[in-house]
Amino acid sequence: MDRVNGGSRRVWRAAPATLAAVVVLAVLAAAAVAGLAYLIHRRDGSPWIPGALGLLALLVLLYAWRFGLHPRLVADDDGVHVRNPFSARSFAWDDITLVAPGENGLVVGSHDGVAEAWCVQKSVFSLRRGRFTRADAVAHELIDELELRDPPLEDAETGLRIRRARPDESRLLTRIERSASEEHLEHLFPPEEHPYPVREVTERWRRLLHDPAARVFVLVLADEEEALGYVAFAGEEVLHLGVVPHRTRLGYGSALLEFAVREMYDGGETEAGAWVLAGDAGATAFFVSHGWAGSGQRRPCRYPPHPEELRMTKQLRRRARRAA
């Protein structure tokens, strides 16, 4: 990573080892082609074949520059800029909804689309093993920059802080969700008959953390870094909301729900919705206490033994009246 203008502009390129390998291979290939051109010229005296080989050597160097040295990821006051060999895409800080490593490059996205920065990649092996790599570190740095410019929520009086979830936190979110589920939902999901689906839930969180349409946030205390709760939403839908069992009834769930609803309202949504297990009286009462109501819609839960879910809704703003 390069730092320019005292840190106001940051540039990431391919890893040093990758850059060194590209340069060495390109120079060796170009030198070999140029040497062959010289030998042919000495033997035959014809300028055409050596000239063509010389042009090929130049093209090798140009290819190495364009695909190895040119790609870069830039963060400055205007936003994040992805520069690939034959394309460029810029994202304003306010528009960014996704920063996550990918096997083809670091993914930066908004509601309008995504771009992959080729210069910062994460191998398929590392993705499957959940290993923390340089790509994760760069994603963290960009998200930290985003947090500084647009902090989701910080309350100095209560010490509550809501931050963006990092793309490598699928296991953390699964642990919180599992602890809350096993504490309050044993009557719906008997553990001796239906063990908690850790792998499936972890994969679901991983997909959400890499989905530009979804937004995932974590609640922590200012003097602690322990994650106490989470909320995930997309469009008008609250997808997931939970708090660790030993921190319930302290207003953390309310803070997360109110934050999600406010974000939806600011995004122009007129109604919020959420699916709640019909047999979870506590969750239903929680939503009702915040002005939500049952819509009458029901569906089976995706996880065995598939208990019924009830859809709760809340109006966020009055709809404009149609002209007579």
> What DSSP letter does each residue of 292-312 carry, written as one string?
-EEEEEEEE-SSTT--EEEEE
Q: How far apart are CA 253 and CA 242, in angstroms?
A: 7
**Residue 37: per-residue pLDDT:** 67
Two structure tokens written together for 201: 């839930």
**Residue 28: per-residue pLDDT:** 64
List the end-to-end C-alpha distance of the chain, in Å, as a whole number. 61
**Residue 155: per-residue pLDDT:** 82
The CATH number corresponding to 72-147 among 1.10.10, 2.40.10, 2.30.29, 2.40.50 equals 2.30.29
Residue 290 phi, psi (nearest 5): -105, 20
What secondary structure letter does DSSP report for 94?
G
Beta pairing, strands 308-315 & 271-277: antiparallel
Q: Is the peptide bond before 305 cis (omega within 30 degrees of 0)?
A: yes
**Residue 4: per-residue pLDDT:** 41
**Residue 67: per-residue pLDDT:** 59
**Residue 14: per-residue pLDDT:** 77
Q: Which residues of the chain have pLDDT under 70?
A: 1-7, 15-30, 32-33, 37-38, 41-42, 45-46, 48-51, 53-69, 318-324
The CATH number corresponding to 152-315 among 3.40.50.300, 2.60.40.60, 3.40.630.30, 1.10.260.40 equals 3.40.630.30
Strands (E), 101-188: 106-110, 113-117, 153-154, 160-164
**Residue 3: per-residue pLDDT:** 44
**Residue 75: per-residue pLDDT:** 95
CA 122 to chain centre: 14
How many beta carbons lie within 10 A of that of residue 106, not counting itself? 27
Q: Name the pTM for this structure.
A: 0.81
User: Side chain identity at 189, as an amino acid letter?
Assistant: F
Locate the domains of the chain by residue range: 2-69, 72-147, 152-315
**Residue 17: per-residue pLDDT:** 65
Place of tokens 């530009």: 212
pLDDT, one tens digit per residue, over 133-185 is 989 999 999 999 999 988 898 887 778 899 999 999 999 999 999 999 999 99
3-class SS at 212?
Answer: coil
